[in-house]
Amino acid sequence: MPYKITKERCQNSIDSTEYICDYCGGKLEPIETVDNSNNPTFWTGCKSCSRFTAGCPPTVFEIAKRMVEEHHFRYYKDETDSKDNISKAAQIVRLVQTLSEQIKEESL
Ligand SMILES: [Zn+2]
């Protein structure tokens, strides 16, 4: 069966951004899997975290990491692994960036 998304196409989409893993800051790679219809495919993810993720820009990861490590941001209060909190912080940072840009455009 042909791959829905080939390894090469997945790698190209990874290479088109400078995004890194939003859990550990590591490298994103094509990971072989199957989609909901059981077709073989490759999705972007982080092998060291064993997760599929689209990742985030390095600056967003750095802000998120500092939020957790230096400012004790805890979305998941009982989480012993800080990676989940860093990933949640990264989501919030990106939302704040998007909203900031919207507000800037609206005020033009
Ligand atoms: Zn990772």
Quote the pLDDT of residue 108.
85
| Percent of the residues in the chain that have a pLDDT greater than 90, as a whole number | 92
Q: Tell me: the pLDDT tens digits for 63-93? A: 999 999 999 999 998 767 799 999 999 999 9
pLDDT of res. 79:
67
Distance CA 30, CA 87 (A): 19
CA of 100 to the centre of ligand 1 (A): 27
Compute, in angstroms, the gap from residue 41 CA to the centroid of ligand 1: 20
Tell how far the Cα of 5 is from the centroid of ligand 1, in angstroms: 21
* Nearest-10 crossing angle of helices 58-69, 82-106: 120
pLDDT in tens for each of the 108 residues of the chain? 789 999 999 999 999 999 999 999 999 999 999 999 999 999 999 999 999 999 999 999 999 999 999 999 999 987 677 999 999 999 999 999 999 999 999 998
pLDDT of 1: 77
